[in-house]
Chain A
Amino acid sequence: MHDQGQSLVPIGEAAKRLGVSIDTLRNWEEKGILASFRPSAQSKRYYRTEDLRQFLEKGGQAQAVDMESMAEKWAFAANPSPLPSQFYCETSDVFQARLQRMELEMQRVEALKDIFSLAVAITGEIGNNSYNHNIGNWPDALGTFFGYDLKKRKVVLADRGQGVLKTLKRVVPELNDDAEALKVAFTQYISGRAPENRGNGLKFVRDSVGSGAFLLQFQSGSALLKLEGASEALNIVKTEKTFHGSFAVLSF
């Protein structure tokens, strides 16, 4: 006889329990986020109730891991060790799937109900920027670090891409250093799409952080930007350590 935790539910029931669509569950399985079970090769997909319970309880959040140190070490190291799979998003679609999972978990926390949409949107814009501007051009390791801890109210993102200065210089060639590049990226609306599709994601991030519920630290190269609440001025400082990618910590 099966105990309660070992019993199986069909995909439709699993989707209902988690509050997501069947397509989302299929997507999560493909990305290794939540596995289903097939009693035989021809059988339909089932989910173990124990897996669903654990998913709801633990979520995709970091368990007793110092995400910030891990991400920073990975982003700044000359020869980085591979990241644990729970934080590593090699491609954009893995990042999207995990972002959706973060959204789902945030929606379940009463205290985060008012800010989850902006938190997910800010995270999405910063993370997607990494892929949009480095696709086919990553200097070494592909993809991003993406971790979150809803208890500590923190999201950590990092990449080993080319950094804001190098990618922005393609459309604003007169930029001189990392600090200038960050200032332009977070404040100026740039016209013209060629030679690369440059969006307004970081301007949106700045305005959204300015709504008051967030604090953002964003580093690229040797420039560190600190955005807090409705402060109009941009606080950008030069750091001793430099690297070629970007590293962001969003607190809420």
Chain B
Amino acid sequence: MKIALHKFGTTLVSRPAGKEAFLAFQPVLREVPESETVEIDFEGVAVLTPSWADEFITPLAEQYRGRFVLGPSSNPSVLATLQTLEKAKVAQKSM
């Protein structure tokens, strides 16, 4: 399954908005077959922050560990956000 982030908005900034998106998307996620990959599609996203991503992407990555894929992006805020999430993950593991 490909999750098109722009369908949640093109400016994905606040923590409450990320949480709301995650909760609202749960019914759709329940239909994903166990063998299927879950891919995040960043196409069309203008602004992404770690606050929004931490409420949406982080729990999805956890939920679909092993079959979770991040699509490509050249948007600077998407790239910087993914870098921040990765650093936080590494720091979490080392603690």
Contact = CB atoms under 8 A, between A and B. Distances in A.
Interface in A83-140: 92, 96, 99-100, 103, 107, 114-118, 120-121, 124-125, 128, 132
B76 A118 contact: yes
A199 interface: yes
A137 B26 CA distance: 31
B15 A120 contact: no
Interface string B41-52: 000001111110
Contacts of A103: 11, 46-47
A208 interface: yes
Given A96-B17, A207-B84, A199 B50 contact: yes
A61 B61 CA distance: 39
Contact of B13 (A114, A120, A207): A120
Contacts of B91: 188-189, 191
Instruction: Bin chain B's interface residue count.
Output: 20 to 34
B84 A117 contact: no
Given A203-B84, A204-B80, A207-B84, A99 B13 contact: yes
A115 B47 CA distance: 11
B88 interface: yes
Interface of A: 92, 96, 99-100, 103, 107, 114-118, 120-121, 124-125, 128, 132, 188-189, 191, 197, 199-201, 203-204, 207-208, 211
9 contacts: A96-B13, A96-B14, A115-B76, A117-B46, A128-B14, A128-B51, A199-B54, A201-B50, A201-B51
